Amino acid sequence: MSKPLRLREEMAQLPTYKAGKKAASVDGLTAFKLSSNENPMDPLPGIIEVITQAATQVHRYPDPLVTELTNALAARHNVKPEHVATGTGSVGVCQQIVQAVAGAGDEVIFAWRSFEAYPIITTIAGATSVQVPLNDDNGHDLTAMAAAITSATRLIFVCTPNNPTGTIVKQSEFDEFMKSVPQDILVVVDEAYVEFNRDEEALDGLASMRKYPNLGVLRTFSKAYGLAALRIGFFIGPEVIADAVRKTAVPFGVSNIAQSAAVASLELEAELLKRVDAIVETREWFEAQLREIGYDVPNSQANFVWLQLGVQTDDFVIQCTAQAVAVRPFSGEGVRITIGEREPLERVLEILKTFPR
């Protein structure tokens, strides 16, 4: 008689990461994907050439220490390279951090809703998620998060701007929060969307890292920099954690193509900022339009907008699909719409104008 294969107990409760869907094709309409917070623009100038050049070396293993990029990031952010660690996307880095600091019986605190990867990687590490509901303004409830700290807490994620609501954590509230975090608990500020922030009161992760010895920052090349497919992100923070991130990494995980493209992208900051400005401008236009037709969306500082449609979420998504636009639904809660091209955003507005409420 055959017996089922044995898996770790945690696997039974492990959700599969739901990636943003592609847009369905509809006759006569160009399809658009607004479901994964990708940059809608082509790679930065010269990047395809850098990638093509790097491709000539793919028969060799990449530099396992990611030396050139690590040094470039250290110089750019004015820290020693010892404080910098890279990984296969910032999700990869995130997972390396959780594995390094939390295991069975340990707790990882984060806001909810926030980034869907947090509960998954916490479960994979064998640790326990402590999800603290967002406040009424769809922002982090730092008072409640501080109150959730126990002797089992090992790590706290603070996602700002928050995915999927776009809200930021203010520096002043964060400084207050840090007073109640014991120094042996790591706080990781996930700044995947920081380039899109225009709120001067927002928490500055890198400046705060210089103030708090138990604070680290996560950044990515996937969003503003437009290198999502190359899987490259990084951590800047305490040396022991950067060290641990290197130890828990998949060997040679960051490809030579990703390393070269990231180094070259860092030198194109002026061009990058222009593109980010254009996305921010579209975001402001889209938010203003939404408010004009009566949707009270939270003020987003990211490259997406959160539309809290509750039970109407699925109906709205069906209509978007019919218009060849993919958005990211959270059934029963709302929809996250990426600030992509104007054309699909205009289709979304048309749908909402007649959408029953």
17: DSSP letter: P
- Single-letter residue type at 306: W
DSSP H/E element including 305: strand 304-307
Choose, by CB under 6 A, the member of 163, 197, 214, 300 that binds ligand PLP: 163
Least CB distance from residue 289 to ligand PLP, whole Å?
24
Least CB distance from residue 162 to ligand PLP, whole Å?
8
The 212-251 contact track toward ligand PLP, x by CB under 6 A, reads: --------x-xx----x----x------------------
Closer residue to ligand PLP in complex, CB, 90/323: 90
What secondary structure does DSSP assign to 79-140, as a single string? Answer: S-GGGEEEESHHHHHHHHHHHHH--TT-EEEEEESS-THHHHHHHHTT-EEEEEE--TTSS-
Binding-residue total with ligand PLP (CB under 6 A)? 14
Omega within 30 of 0 (cis) for the link into 275? no
Nearest C-alpha neighbor of 103 from the set 242, 181, 8, 32: 8
Q: Output the CA torsion sign for 109, 112, 116, 120.
A: positive
Least CB distance from residue 130 to ligand PLP, whole Å?
18
Q: Which of residues 140-159 bind ligand PLP (CB under 6 A)?
A: 159
Q: Which of residues 89-108 bind ligand PLP (CB under 6 A)?
A: 89-91
Residue position matching structure tokens 């969307």 = 193
Strands 84-87 and 304-307: unpaired
Least CB distance from residue 231 to ligand PLP, whole Å?
7
Least CB distance from residue 134 to ligand PLP, whole Å?
14
The 29-48 contact track toward ligand PLP, x by CB under 6 A, reads: --------x-----------
Closer residue to ligand PLP in complex, CB, 157/177: 157
**Where on the chain is the footprint of ligand PLP (CB under 6 A)?**
37, 89-91, 115, 159, 163, 190, 192, 220, 222-223, 228, 233
